Structures are given as C-alpha cells and as structure tokens.
Structure 1
Amino acid sequence: MRKYLYIVILFYQNVLATSPISNLDVYIYPEYYYSGVMVELNGKVEESSLPLAFEMVVPATTDSVYLVSGIANDESEVLPLTINYKKSNSWVQLDLDKQSFRIFVFYVPFDTSSTRKFNYTVQATVPLNEFHIFIQEPLVAQDFTLAQESTANKDQHGITFHQIHVVELPAMSAKTIPISYTNNTTQTTMVLLQQLLSERSQGKPEEDQSKQVVPQRHRLPLWEPFAVLGILSVLVGIIYYNQKDYSSVFNGEKYCPGCGNKTDIGNKYCANCGGKL
C-alpha cells in the first residue's frame, strides 16, 4: 500500500510542479539564411531558482548549440555547449546563473532531395509552464504542412509565422513538432526575399513607394538570425586567429610570433607586445 501511495505522490508532484522558467518562447527558422534549421529558445529563470542547472534535448543531427546568458548586448558572452549522446537522444547541459537566457540550436535535417520533412522536440529535465512555439514558413516552401493546431499570421514581407500554444510540459515529457514542405529551388528565404525586394524597388517609382501603408510588423525579431550569424563569424575569427601560426619572416617581412604584429627585420623585441623576436 505504501508503495502505491509513494507512486501517486510522485505523480502529482510532477504534474503540479512549478516551472523555474518563465516567458519561454521557441522560434524555429527552417532555411531562413542557410540550408538548415536554426532554433532559438529564450526565456527567464525565476530569481528564486538561480542558479539553475538542467538538461534539454536537441535534434540528433545538431551541428552546434550556443548559450547567451544575461541581457543581449555587445558584451554578452556566447558559450558553445557540449552535445552529449545518451538514452538514444542528444542532450545539452545548461548552467544558468542569470535570469535572461537565449539558446541557439543549428542542425541540418535535410537530404539532397527537394522534400523537407523533419521534427523539433521540446523536452527538458525541469517542468515548463505555459510557453509558445513559433515556426517561420519559408518563402520557398510549397505544400507546407504543420501537424499541430496553430495560428497563422503574416508580416510585412509576406512571411507566414505559425504560433503554437503549449499550456504546460511536465519534466521529461516531450512536445514534438512535425514539419514538412517542398523546396524545389534550393534557395533560402533570405535569398528569395532579397530578390523580391529588389524587383519591387525597381518596378515602382519612389513616390509611389512612400505612399504605401506599411502593414503591422510581426512581433518576431527578424534581425536575430543576422545577429547570431555575426556572433558565429566572430567566434570563427577568434578561433582562426588563436590557431594561426605566425612565422618570423614571411615574404621578406618580419612578424612577432606572439601577437602577429609586423616589425622591422632588425628588431629583437616587438614594439607592440614587448615579446622577444
């Protein structure tokens, strides 16, 4: 009898558990600016739950995962996360010591065919209260299908966003979003969008364009994928710089092996960092 009572108590504790995370939004961008999928999760940790450590599932074909902790600004630290493979799934460990956080997941679930059929699963070791999932429908998509009840809205560029409302998700429970469409062009939304904007600007007089009524913008931040791309570019640049093997003399010019600064061939010490040449 005690055994069954213990199981019942654990069940209700799991169902009634309060999430340590609030204001969670999940954005899914298929083929937006590259031939893959970028997922952004952002939310806040309840102050009483800090620091918070938990794990979440990422797709099996995930290439990289990055964490931006704290309020996003030029000084925000971008941390690459290690992907762990266990229990037939891929997981990442999150150690949050600030309230605001953003997680970026990059993966390529497509093959060489024009058919795009993939899933994204939200699953964590902590319970999640009410949150929303937004899926951007690619401009290049045909026969777009979302096997979930959703609300569709278009932004000023004609891009459709599908919004899914999730009331709650108990710890270790999974919410899977199946998505499918056809892309016969192999282009991304950004490439097609640039072409459309160029055609519009060339086909209409400037005066007519200024008189157009601009539709209300969709609330999703469309600039964020560019910000992430910029962050990744900086990371690649830093890695390249740190791994670059500076030679003492190259093409008749002398460089410091410590900082890479160009110096005169006759110098014995670097004027920039003071290192011995």
Structure 2
Amino acid sequence: MRKYLYIVILFYQNVLATSPISKLDIYIYPEYYYSGVMVELNGKVEESTLPLALEMVVPATTDSVFLVSGIANDESEVLPVTINHKESNSWVQLDLDKPSFRIFIFYVPFDTSFTRKFNYTVQATVPLNDFHIFIQEPLVAQDFTLVQESTVNKDQHGITFHQIHVAELPSMSAKTIPISYTNHTTQTTMVLLQQLLSERSQGKSEAAQSKQVVPQRHRLPLWEPFAVLGILSILVGIIFYNQKDYSSVSDGKKYCSECGNKTGIGNKYCASCGVKI
C-alpha cells in the first residue's frame, strides 16, 4: 500500500512541478527555405534556476542542432550541439547559462514522393508549462492536415500559422504533433514567395508606367479659328472678283465682258472689239 501511495505522490509532484522554463514558443517550418523542416525553440529561463542543464528529444533524422544563448544580435555566438542517440530516440543536452535562448533543429523527414507526412515530438527532462507550438503551413502545400486542435492566423504575406497551446507537459512526458500535406511542385515557401513578390512588383511597375505615358492631344489655340475664317473670306473674295460680271450696270454705263471697255447701254456690239454684248 505504501508503495502505491509513494508512486501517486511522485506522480502528482511531477505534474505540479514548476517549470524552470518561464516562456517557450516552438516554431515548426516545413519546407520554408530548404527541402526539409526547421524547428526554432525560443525560450526564457527563470534566473533563479541558472545555470540550467537539461536534455530534450530531437527527431531521429536530425541533421544538426544549434544553440544561440542570450539575446539574439550580431554578436551572439551560435554553438553546434552534439546529438546523442539513445535507444529509438535522439537527444541533445543543453547547458543554459543565460536567461534567454534559441535552439534551431534541422531535419529531413521526407522521401522522394509528393506526400509529406511527419511528426514532431516535444519531450524534455524538465517539466514544461503553458507553452505554444506554431506550425507554418507551406504556401506550396495541398490538403494540409493537422490532427491537433489549433488556432489559425495569417501573417502579412498571407502565410497561414496554426497555433497550439499546451497547458502543461510533465518531465519526460511526450507531446507529438502529426503533420501531413502534399507538395506537387517540390518548391519551398521562400521560392514561391519570391515569385509572388516579383510578380506583384512587376505589375505595379507596369501600372505606374501606363499612368505616366499620357497620349499627346492637339489643343486648338484660340486664334486659329479666326485665322481660318479670315483666309476663307479672302479666298471667297478672290473667287467672287474673278467671276465678276463685267456686264453689270454702273453710272448708266455698260461694260464689255470681253475687253472691259465702256459702251452704250443700247449697243448690242462692243465698239472696241466687236463682240456681241
């Protein structure tokens, strides 16, 4: 009886244990900028627990793990972490001596097919309380499936993120996130995003050029209509003058239409040229 009571006490002590990790956000990026998965763990350690040594599980196909201790800046040192294979799992040991840390895990769980199906497991030798897991849905993904209940959000580029909240995870307990989708293009999110941004930029440039190129329209100066009317008046006057009827009567005289000399009103023939009037 005491044995079972001891086990129960240990169990509840483990569950109710305070985590030395005060904040933890885990970001999973499938096929973001390379044909694999990048996982970023961004956390803070309670200063009263420093220095902190812990172990955590990493995927069996992990290529490399890097630790950035302290606040991320240009002077931060990126340290490679040794991967230890124990039984069916792979583990890394982390020696944290600063309040802030970032861990990067790179692994390739895919084969040559279009189907993407993999898991990511969170498990550590210390309890983890009230942390979040963010899964980026690749832009190239089709039929994206996430069994775990999540909250969906989108960033400024339209990329979908699935957020999972974990209230508590006791020491050595495992939280596994299954993820599956298809990628028929074999492209990454970064490549497709660059193409989309390039197309948008090109479209804006063409639209701006079309607005700048304004067709030249002829505007008629105010003086042109009057000048045209004046020229027409002169032409009409000249034509009228050339077609003037010299046989018209003026001051009681009659003019010959042939030579233009005056002749009498009653004369039927011109006295000068003899033409019949």
| TM-score in same-fold range (> 0.5) | yes
1:112-171 deviations in whole A, cap 9, x for unaligned?
001000000000010001000000100000001111100111112111011001111000
Q: Distance in 2 between matches of 1:18 and 1:147?
A: 29
Structure 2 length normalisation: TM-score? 0.73
The match for 1:36 is 36
Task: In structure 2, give the amino acid aligned to 1:170.
Answer: P
Q: Distance in 1 between matches of 2:105 and 2:205?
A: 41
Instruction: Tell me the secondary structure at the aligned position of residue 127 of structure 2.
Output: coil
Q: Distance in 2 between matches of 1:132 and 1:87?
A: 28
Number of matched pairs:
208
Instruction: Tell me the secondary structure at the aligned position of residue 128 of structure 2.
Output: coil
- Work out which of the two has the higher radius of gyration on C-alpha atoms and give 1 or 2: 2
Q: Distance in 1 between matches of 2:153 and 2:206?
A: 28
1:168-225 deviations in whole A, cap 9, x for unaligned?
10001111110000000010001000001111111124887xxxxxxxxxxxxxxxxx
Task: In structure 2, give the amino acid aligned to 1:67.
Answer: L
Instruction: Tell me the secondary structure at the aligned position of residue 202 of structure 1.
Output: helix
Aligned pairs for 1:144-183 (under 5 A) are 144-183=144-183
Q: Are 2:44 and 1:49 equivalent residues in the alignment?
A: no
Could you tell me how far 1:2 is from its partner in structure 2?
A: 2.2
Could you tell me how far 1:74 is from its partner in structure 2?
A: 1.2
Instruction: Tell me the secondary structure at the aligned position of residue 161 of structure 1.
Output: strand
Instruction: Tell me the secondary structure at the aligned position of residue 10 of structure 1.
Output: helix
Structure 1 length normalisation: TM-score? 0.73
Q: Which runs of 5+ in 2 are unaligned?
A: 209-277
Task: In structure 2, give the amino acid aligned to 1:93.
Answer: Q
Q: Distance in 1 between matches of 2:171 and 2:207?
A: 56
The match for 2:249 is none
The match for 2:226 is none
Could you tell me how far 1:4 is from its partner in structure 2?
A: 1.9
Q: Are 2:119 and 1:101 equivalent residues in the alignment?
A: no
Q: Distance in 2 between matches of 1:56 and 1:176?
A: 13
1:33-80 deviations in whole A, cap 9, x for unaligned?
000000000111101111111100000000000000111111111111
The match for 1:78 is 78
Could you tell me how far 1:9 is from its partner in structure 2?
A: 1.3
Q: Distance in 2 between matches of 1:207 and 1:153?
A: 31
Q: Are 2:33 and 1:22 equivalent residues in the alignment?
A: no
Instruction: Tell me the secondary structure at the aligned position of residue 167 of structure 1.
Output: strand
The match for 2:132 is 132
1:238-260 deviations in whole A, cap 9, x for unaligned?
xxxxxxxxxxxxxxxxxxxxxxx
Q: Distance in 1 between matches of 2:49 and 2:156?
A: 39
Instruction: Tell me the secondary structure at the aligned position of residue 192 of structure 1.
Output: helix
Instruction: Tell me the secondary structure at the aligned position of residue 177 of structure 1.
Output: strand
Could you tell me how far 1:87 is from its partner in structure 2?
A: 2.8
The alignment's C-alpha RMSD in Å is 1.2
Task: In structure 2, give the amino acid aligned to 1:118.
Answer: F
The match for 2:193 is 193
Task: In structure 1, give the amino acid aligned to 2:7.
Answer: I
